[in-house]
Amino acid sequence: MTEPTTPGPAAGLDLPLDAHLHTALSPDSDVPIDAHCALAVERGVAELAITDHVDFSPGSPAFEYADHGARERMVREAAERWAGRVAVRLGLEVTYERAREEEIGAYLARHRYDYVIGSVHVYRGSPYEATRVGSFVAGRPLDRVVAPFFAEVMAAIRSGLFDTIGHLDYVKRYLVPHLRPAQLAAAPELYEPLLRALVETGVALEVNSSGLRQAAGETYPTPAVVARYRELGGRAVVAGSDAHAIGHFGFGLADAYAILARAGFEELTFRRAPGAERVAVPVPGRFRA
C-alpha cells in the first residue's frame, strides 16, 4: 500500500520524544538518519528513537537486511554529531512471531539496544495480505477476523521481550475497505484481554500516529482504547510517528500526545539505555490544559 510522502501536519511540534522512526537501514525506508535529526531540530522534537526493522523469518523484508554492528554504528555516530541539539537513541522494531520467539530472545540477549518495540506485521502468507483479505473477512464474525492478529499481539505482550508493543491494532490498515475501523471501535471487548495483559506485564502501549496517514484514518489504537487502558490501571505509554519517509516525520505526533493527555497520562515511559529502568518523559502542559 502506497502512503503519501508530502509533508504532513508536523511543523512546530515542540515535543519531547518521537519513539518510533525508520531510516535507510529498514527495507521500506530510504531516509538518512541525519535527515530525521535535522527535522527534529527544526521542528522542536528533543529526543528520537531510531527503530529500524528486524525480521526473523527467511524471506521477510528485514531478514538479514542490516546487522547489529551497522545499526549501532549509524545511530551512535549520529548521536555524537547531533549532541546538544537532539538526543538520538538506538532502538529496534522486531517483527514478533510466536514461531520465532526463541530466536528473537537469543538475538536480544546478544545485542543490547536502548529501546525495543515488538510489533506484529502483515507479510506474505498472512490472511490479511491484499490478495487474501477479502475472502478471509467474508462471512466471518468480527472476533474471528481479528483473532489471528490479536493472538500474536497477546503472545508478544506475554513474551517479556519488549519494552513496548507497537501499533497494537495495525491490522485495521489491511482490513479496509472490507471492514471499517468503526466496526472494531464498536467492539471494545476485543481489546480488553490485550489491555489487561499490558497492565499485568508492565509493557508499554504505543500510541502510533501512522494510521492517520494510512487507510485506517486513525491512530493505533484509538483514543477510546487508550482511555480504557488507563482505566484498567495502565501507566506505561509512548508516542511515535512511525515515519518511513521524510514527509512523514512527526506526522500526527501531536495528535498522539493529545490522545494520551485526554486519557489522563501526564508522562511517557521510555528506556534510554540497555537494561536501564524506563524514565518519565513529561507530556507538555499545553496538552493537559
For the chain, the average pLDDT equals 94
At residue 220, the pLDDT reads: 98
What is the pLDDT at residue 127? 96
Residue 5's pLDDT band (cuts 50, 70, 90): very low
pLDDT tens-digit profile of 242-270?
Answer: 999 999 999 999 999 999 999 999 999 99
- pLDDT band with cut points at 50, 70 and 90 for residue 289: low
CA distances 254 to 17, 47, 68, 210, 269, Å, are 10, 14, 31, 12, 17
User: Residues 225-240: what's their mean pLDDT?
Assistant: 98
Lowest mean pLDDT among 25-29, 64-68, 86-90: 64-68
> Mean pLDDT over residues 277-285, rounded?
96
Over the Cα atoms of the chain, what is R_g?
A: 18
Distance CA 39, CA 238 (A): 20
Average pLDDT over residues 140-168: 98
Confidence of residue 133 (pLDDT cuts 50, 70, 90): very high
* pLDDT value at 183 more than 80: yes
In the chain, the domains with their CATH numbers are 18-288 (3.20.20.140)
Task: Output the CA torsion sign for 268, 273, 278, 279.
Answer: negative
User: CA 81 to CA 11: how far, in whole Å?
Assistant: 23
Q: What is the pLDDT of residue 1?
A: 34
| 105-115 tens-digit pLDDT | 999 999 999 99
Decide if pLDDT at 167 tops 70.
yes
Sequence-ordered strand ranges (E) for 230-284: 237-240, 267-270, 279-282
What nine digits make up the cell of 32? 538518512
pLDDT more than 70, % of the chain = 96
Reading the block at residue 92, the C-alpha cell is 529496534
pLDDT tier at 9 (50, 70, 90 boundaries)?
A: low
C-alpha to C-alpha distance for 103 and 57, rounded to whole angstroms: 10
Confidence of residue 63 (pLDDT cuts 50, 70, 90): very high
| H-type alpha helices, the chain | 33-43, 68-81, 101-110, 133-137, 142-158, 172-175, 181-185, 192-201, 223-231, 253-262, 285-288
Q: Residue 14 corresponds to which amino acid?
A: D
- The grid cell for 133 is 483479505
Contact 255, 226 (CB under 8 A): no
Instruction: Using pLDDT thresholds of 50, 70 and 90, give the confidence band for residue 4.
Output: very low
Percent of the chain with pLDDT over 90: 94
Q: Is 217 a residue whose pLDDT tops 80?
A: yes
Regarding predicted confidence, which is higher, 226 or 1? 226
Span 27-40, average pLDDT:
97
**What confidence tier does 288 reach under pLDDT thresholds 50, 70, 90?**
confident
Q: Region 144-160: what's the mean pLDDT?
A: 98
Residue 205 DSSP SS3:
strand
pLDDT of residue 12: 73
Please report the pLDDT score of residue 44 as a whole number: 96
User: Cα separation of 155 and 250, whole Å?
Assistant: 29
Q: What is the pLDDT of residue 10?
A: 58
